[in-house]
Chain A
Amino acid sequence: MLLPTRIVAAALLAAAVPTARAELKPGDPFPALEASGLAGGRAPHLAGRVVLVDFWASWCGPCRASFPAYAKLQGDYAARGLLIVAVSVDQDPAAFAAFRQRYQPPFVTVLDRAQHLVCEVDVPAMPTCYLLGRDHRVRFVHRGFHGAETERELRREIDLLLAEAPPPS
């Protein structure tokens, strides 16, 4: 009698625990931007490039603080092959447009209005940025933006990724 009790209890416990959604972690392939229904501009072709994908929102203070740092990275690394794609998760296109108009970011900004991509990626915090290697796999994840410390780490990691040879086609 005790054994069935234990089996029932174990089964019920297993059913009660929600299945965790998998966050993207280093080594995982990043979803294709082209297939994510992004608005606000044409989704760039990422294949073979080192890409920084940043998830931000106009209502997020740290996201706003990160933009000058990304602008500097864009200035320093774009010629060497870095592509920065900032994906807004704003559901209000007017807020996205006003933010873009105000800050004039020199990198690609697109809008994930339906929040399909951010949901698929399951970002753990706002902002979160993903550094992708030339093989389109996530190599580094930065949760939040911590000013000069984050920028310093990004520079080290971008240098590392740009120095790597492109994958054989």
Chain B
Amino acid sequence: MNLLPLRLGLILGLLGGLAACGGCTSARLARVHPWQRAALADYTMRPDRDPVAVALSDHIYQSRETASGGRGVGGSGCGCN
């Protein structure tokens, strides 16, 4: 049995896999260093920076999910806590 095509296929598959995964492990990929996080630490990056928008979003969430306090209140709503 000629195993050459199988081995060639294995090598090509390996090459393709490494090419695909190599990008994930590459140091050149945008890795944000601790000292580069000024923009991430900015107030505008906070999801709760606008209280009106948060209240509206919560209202919609509660209406749709019938889960009043479902975002920030502990417990399942059974009233046992």
A binding-site residues for B, Cβ under 8 Å: 1-2, 5, 8-9, 12-13, 15-19, 21, 55, 57, 59-60, 89-92, 115, 118-119, 122-126, 128
Chain B residues closer than 8 Å to A59, beta-carbon distance: 37-38, 41-42
Q: How many A-B contacts are there with CB distance less than 8 Å?
A: 53
Q: B76 interface residue, CB < 8 Å from A?
A: no
In the assembled complex, which residues on chain A have CB atoms less than 8 Å from the CB atom of B3?
A: 1
Q: Count of chain B residues with Cβ under 8 Å from any Cβ of A?
A: 21
Specify which chain B residues have a CB less than 8 angstroms from the CB of A2 in the assembled complex: 7
The reply to whether B11 and A57 contact each other, CB–CB distance below 8 Å, is no
Query: Could you pull out 5 A-B pairs where Cβ atoms are within 8 angstroms?
Result: A57-B35, A59-B38, A115-B36, A119-B33, A122-B33
Partner of B25 from the list A5, A17, A21, A57 (CB cut-off 8 Å) is A17
Q: Which residue of B lies closest to A61 (CB)?
A: B41
Determine if B81 is an interface residue (Cβ-Cβ < 8 Å). Answer: no
Chain A residues whose CB sits within 8 angstroms of the CB of B42 once the complex forms: 59
The reply to whether the CB of B52 lies closer than 8 angstroms to some CB of chain A is no
Contact yes or no, B14 A91, CB < 8 A: no
Closest B-chain residue to A20, C-beta based?
Answer: B27
